[in-house]
Structure 1
């Protein structure tokens, strides 16, 4: 498993597959600088299918000819993310130290986990006595090996297994924020994904398990309002955490990514939050194929995690 950092000195582009709710694939030519847009050269979707060899083979035919290395985006339920203090150990000892730290947190042996980690970026003024922190991602090695084997059998070898938070980080880092922190919110059917990014690195992540799309038949208007109230409260708590723990870090406000249907998320958060809330225009970050349905925000939302995973700067 790899985070595949935002900067890449290798290929000219990446192909990413997000297999939650179907299979959504994009091939993206990497920009050379922050001033350039990433070019989406191909995209395809097979909504609603299960992840199996037959569906992957079908997707391979649809995406054939991209020529870019492949990143597979894991679903939220396939990994766990922990914030831990960085141990004062040598780099070669870090993995062993993290396995020991995660032992009481995992419901399976830590020795059976694939681990990846990244440091939380330092703020402009840092308390010298404050312990550095890291985000650690753990996934069952057996499940990851089975997933890699599945792609191999479908003749789509995977170069990296990635997570949704780092894909969202890549998109957030491409927002012209003038070296300020950016909070990006993306709502999907199973919950709301929040990231705060600073200087291209992930500073804070939250996943708010509130379903905003499916309205229950017997749900009152007041019950629906409470859903958005709860999401807004969790977003505000996250922003307050940032201000409290990194008061000197410049903050560029909150951006809301497109949603798969019009649920009024932008307007509802604007009415509930203290900070400025703006719509994220992905056309400022990506150049869409001519005549493509990716010009529609609701379609962009379906490919959001794949687009993020495929977005890399050419270093």
Structure 2
């Protein structure tokens, strides 16, 4: 049936279903959106009826700002006790009690040539009430919610489609308010960095102010590249891929001129068969739907 991603974005809900086949590219069966004119549950109900999702199992993303992502050394406890041990450590990080948080943990891959090196994990924490509200909206709309994921993992899914075997890949996406830079290899997330520069700032800035923003963005990316090289010296980075942008902003050329790694802008048709959704040939639509497509690329049982 394929994975159905249902993601909240401002005043609308995006939906996409991707079917993985034996062919080279996953197939996008449909992609659309629904405005939230009244309640989330009502908008979800309309999506369920429009796309016949009564039997679908859905994946959704926690909106940016509604969760915290923290990397830490893995506690030296049995795997079955790892989540509780991480939750205890989060008491020093969260601005609310950790026992009122929904917590998940996933490992950062280590150097296969150094098995004794301390293992690191990412901890994801969100307030219980936020998770409960989202689950209730799906339940009220009679939609089955199988997984609640985070944008970093959706971007990891998308990055995996552009990776070169045996090499790492950096992928930079920009939403209206922020940027997200991820480093992946063999479909695994190694490093994620948020950047407080978004398309809205770049779009409204002119002249010297625009150049200052671009220079700040380059500096943030360069620092992350340097950190990745130091932290994961056993990996070689192939290139930086820039997620689709709604218009020709000149960002790809600016990054290419100022970074030491090759830079290219992603084309969704190189990663996904979008022939059933011809409107996605538009750069603007590719930029708008990037995250929901990344969420829909999640494999069954994947992390």
Please confirm whether the aligned pair reaches a TM-score higher than 0.5, indicating the same fold. Answer: yes
In structure 2, the partner of 1:53 is 41
Is 1:272 aligned to residue 258 of structure 2? Answer: yes
Write out per-residue CA displacement over residues 157-195 of structure 1, whole angstroms, 9 at most, x where no aligned residue: 211111100010011112241121100111110111110
Is 1:290 aligned to residue 276 of structure 2? Answer: yes
**Map 1:223-302 → 2, pairs under 5 A:** 223-290=209-276, 292-302=278-288
Shift of 1:263: 2.2
Shift of 1:123: 2.8
Identify the match of residue 28 of structure 2 among 35, 40, 51: 40
Is 1:196 aligned to residue 187 of structure 2? Answer: no
TM-align CA RMSD: 2.1
Write out per-residue CA displacement over residues 34-68 of structure 1, whole angstroms, 9 at most, x where no aligned residue: x6211111111135757622222222233225853
**Map 1:148-159 → 2, pairs under 5 A:** 148-159=135-146
Shift of 1:197: 0.4
Separation in 1, partners of 2:39, 2:236 = 42
Shift of 1:30: 2.0
Deviates more, 1:281-290 or 1:136-145: 281-290
In structure 2, the partner of 1:93 is 81
TM-score normalized with structure 2 length: 0.92
Is 1:26 aligned to residue 13 of structure 2? Answer: no
Separation in 2, partners of 1:155, 1:297 = 33
**Map 1:119-268 → 2, pairs under 5 A:** 119-126=107-114, 128=116, 130-214=117-201, 219-268=205-254
Shift of 1:256: 0.6
Write out per-residue CA displacement over residues 262-283 of structure 1, whole angstroms, 9 at most, x where no aligned residue: 3222122112211111121221
Write out per-residue CA displacement over residues 6-32 of structure 1, whole angstroms, 9 at most, x where no aligned residue: xxxxxx411001211221110111244
What count of residue pairs does the alignment treat as equivalent? 300
Separation in 2, partners of 1:106, 1:304 = 29
Write out per-residue CA displacement over residues 121-174 of structure 1, whole angstroms, 9 at most, x where no aligned residue: 11353373x311001100111210111011110112211111100010011112
Shift of 1:257: 0.9
Write out per-residue CA displacement over residues 100-127 of structure 1, whole angstroms, 9 at most, x where no aligned residue: 1100111111011111111111135337
Identify the match of residue 306 of structure 1 among 292, 295, 299: 292
Aligned CA distance change for structure 1 residues 220 and 307 (closer, same or farther; 3 Å): closer
Gaps of 5+ in 2: none
Separation in 1, partners of 2:239, 2:39 = 37
Query: Conserved in 2, the CA contact under 8 Å of 1:23 and 1:51?
Result: no
User: Does the residue aligned with 1:123 lie in a helix, a strand or coil?
Assistant: coil
Q: Structure with the greater relative contact order (CA < 8 A, sep ≥ 6): 1 or 2?
A: 1
Shift of 1:288: 1.0
Separation in 2, partners of 1:243, 1:268 = 22
User: Does the residue aligned with 1:306 lie in a helix, a strand or coil?
Assistant: helix
TM-score normalized with structure 1 length: 0.89
